[in-house]
A and B are shown apart, each in its own frame.
Chain A
Amino acid sequence: MSQNPALEGLPKHAIERLKGLRESGQSEGIFTSDLSVNEFLMVREAGFEPIGLCVGSCIYHMGIQYGQWSQNQELNVLSQAMYHARELAMTRMTEEAQAVAADGVVGVRLEVKRLEWDREILEFMAIGTAIAHSSGHPGFKGPQGRPFTSDLSGQDFWMLLKAGHRPLEMVMGSCVYHVAHQGFLKSLGNIGRNTEITQFTQAMYDARELAMERMQNEAHEAGAEGIVGVNLHEGSHNWQPHVIEFFAVGTAVKPIEDQSVIPPPAAPQIVIPVND
């Protein structure tokens, strides 16, 4: 209809919008998302359509637990609280996705916000974009037929499918740990010496190990083959100075079962970008 090649193949209503002939969109079938433009393209390139923003939140009062001053130890009341609250937020988000018949949720961000007015209360929020396979292929659901969850971006999602895997579940491991204080005499002995403080090394090691182990167990229970994109965060959520949370998070994946939907693998082409 037009001489401009850029407009060729555009849907009719899109051209009408460009002409300003239609002032409004459709009243039905609107999707919401927090995808970037590039993510939107890549999710569609992967054969999926965004359906809606999904959110789960949980306002949680953290119990109080004090570590022994000179003892390395996990504070399991706080570990459990971090687990419980995150799980509530994630479950609520997944329920929202299930309600709109999504196959899964991509780009999940799991945020913990401290509130200025009470240091014992934390706000947990899980947010992501629910997507569904455009031709309704049933083979992309998560464990037990629930929507899958993943913190992978739209681009990563496309690459994961290209790699022959599909996301199952966002898995996480948390460990809140009290790092022992050093005794006075011990610190005195370290003055002027280059030395490892093994006590602290052990604490960091142990806490990280616990967090990673728990994450791996979650993936195992979900029936995953592996976990990709694992990140490890250390954070203190308004706690005592020696209390640290180790938080491991990643996306559990398994091979795509239906051979017919596996896209041809894309071997990367080596390039030199000239634009930056």
Chain B
Amino acid sequence: MGLLGRIMHGTPDPDAAKHLAEQQARDAAWQTALERGRLPDFVIKRLADTKERRLPWVSTTSVGGLLAMRTHGIRPVGMVSGNCWFNFGFSWTKGHAAGWHTAIERMTEEAVVLGANAIIDVRMKVFRLAELGREQMDFALYGTAVTIDSLPPSKAPLVATVSALEFVRLLECGIVPVGLAIGAHYDWLYQPSYQRQSTMMGLNGYAYMNRELVTVSQFVNRVRQAAYGLLASDGARLGTGVLARTQFSELLYFEPDENYPSGRCMYRHIAMGTAVQHEPGMHRPVNVKAVFSVQDKPMRRSLELTEEII
């Protein structure tokens, strides 16, 4: 009787006890592994089998990426991943840096087992459960571990948050993407020189005037500078530059309460991006050609625009 049949007839699974035991053993293996900062044996075995080609190689890259790797002596070995479900005990902002860093360590660990030189095409994902609110979330990364012909396995594989095509193009220009750099900072401004409009109205018509909130501007700038300082030092740990395409900032205001009679502002800024290693001043020309495409935009595109133009 199949699984469905057993469910339909309410017959107990004869192997239920066995399955439960297996699952519990897996749970225990994960728990021990995470506590010790290593991988469970069954993961190591699968990765080792992949490395030795007893299992098929796995690649997250596009077919175009695969072609580019082939022409540049780069071989995909296996897909690697790491994640960290993080509870923001004291700071959502700082938690972002901590969560990503832990997930990267775990992913890198897998790449080491595969004997890789780099993890390319690394993608980042977050996952939340609505009922848990913003208090906790999962930070996950996955990518393709690759070896580069003529290089020995690396103890510290690079983490390249760029596609295979971009990875190859960067190598051609003497640039190596080396990791993910993060700078995250937040701070409070107590007694902001800001008061609700209602309290100002009628006093002297102040609310009718244009004015900069200088204290808040300066505060925001300080926090952002601190975040960029952290981004730079995290980047310096990895390479010579950071391409920080992802930036998030938020300015919040909290109404006065007993503890903070003047109210308070909170500002946070997160910046992250690909850290690269390059030699400033040493550029291998790409010899870019300007081209003029005579490809017409497909019809679909103009239909998509309908909402904007009608």
Contact = CB atoms under 8 A, between A and B. Distances in A.
Interface of A: 2-7, 9-11, 13-15, 17-20, 23-38, 40-42, 44-45, 47, 49-50, 52-53, 55-65, 77, 80-81, 84-85, 88, 92, 113, 115, 117-118, 120-121, 123, 125, 127, 134, 158-159, 162, 266-273, 275
A36 B173 CA distance: 15
A75 B108 CA distance: 57
B282 A61 contact: no
Bin the interface of chain B by size: 35 or more
Interface string B203-230: 0000111111100110011001100100
The dominant DSSP class at the A interface is: mixed
B176 interface: yes
B50 interface: no
B295 interface: yes
A272 B295 contact: yes
A114 B283 CA distance: 42
A275 B239 CA distance: 33
Q: Which of B174, B177, B236 has the most CB of A within 10 A?
A: B236
A40 B232 CA distance: 17
Contact of A60 (B210, B293, B295): B210
Contact of B212 (A7, A32, A50, A61): A61
A4 B171 CA distance: 12
Interface string B268-310: 0001011111111111111011111111000000000000000
Contacts of A19: 117, 151-152, 154
A226 B166 CA distance: 34
Contacts of B286: 41, 45
B193 to A, nearest CB: 10
B155 interface: yes
A136 to B, nearest CB: 10
Interface string B57-82: 00000001000000011100000000
Contacts, number: 244
A275 B241 contact: no
B41 interface: no
A33 B294 CA distance: 33
B237 interface: yes
B296 to A, nearest CB: 10
A115 to B, nearest CB: 6
B240 A266 contact: no
B49 interface: no
Given A24-B237, A88-B212, A35 B243 contact: yes
A4 B281 CA distance: 24
A25 B237 contact: yes
A55 B183 CA distance: 15
A59 B233 CA distance: 28
